[in-house]
Amino acid sequence: MEWLDVVDAEDRPLGITKLKQDIHQDGDWHRTTHIYVMNPAGELLCNLRHPDKDLFASLWDMSFGGHVSAGEAYADGARRELEEEAGIRVEPHEISYLYSIAGDGYDVVSGLIDREHTAVFLYETDRPLEAFTYQQEEISALRFVSISQLRQHLREPDGRFPLVPLGAMYAYALDRLTDYRNGLLPNSAERPRFSWRDALKTDGLPSRNAP
């Protein structure tokens, strides 16, 4: 069982913990992390979500991550998820905090309401692909993909590399990662909000999970 802290729309703790499935059923705001893994060539380690995942099954994701457990700090949750999903244990100084976002979505297939505050981190590594041991219950495959290729997949989605349909959020992330590689630090005070409905309507992405 996975217990999570309930927070409000501004990410303030409410002093309540719930099981993850109850939070999704009730539509409570909660905390998650995204960790982008980048190699020296500027390629991102993408993962194919397992067919049994509750959300966005059998689609490619640009980041790793998951829910922040009750009482856990964002950075600790990010490091734990990276170890669980990719088999890589990293020290606190090896990941860099980039920015935070808020996402408000609904999955019509599963009936889950997903309202998340997400802290986004970057892990830069020269590890080859074969050094990563992914969690087979969560992930089906791994692949390094260049930022330019990912932008192309966002602009012209097709069945060869089907991405999780959150194009606006991904486009924002790719812009911030490009800035970071160019020596420009993201504005950590920003907290953009993304809606699954808005992403699916405006980005021309697959709509199989659209409400």
* pLDDT per residue as tens digits for the range 109-153: 777 788 999 999 999 999 999 999 998 998 999 999 999 999 999
Q: How many residues does the chain have?
A: 211
Indicate the pTM of the whole model: 0.89
**Per-residue pLDDT at 29 exceeds 70:** yes
pLDDT at 211 over 50: no
Give the pLDDT band (50/70/90) at residue 17. very high
Q: How far apart are CA 75 and CA 97, in angstroms?
A: 8
For residue 120, the model assigns a pLDDT of: 97
State the amino acid at position 79 in one-letter form: R
What is the average pLDDT score of the chain?
89
Provide mean pLDDT across the span 164-178: 93
DSSP annotation of 10 reads T
**Of 30, 39, 153, 154, residue with least CA distance to 86:** 39
**Whole-number pLDDT of residue 204:** 36
- Range with the lowest mean pLDDT among 5-14, 24-33, 185-194, 196-205? 196-205
20 Cβ partners below 8 Å, 6+ apart?
Answer: 2, 3, 4, 67
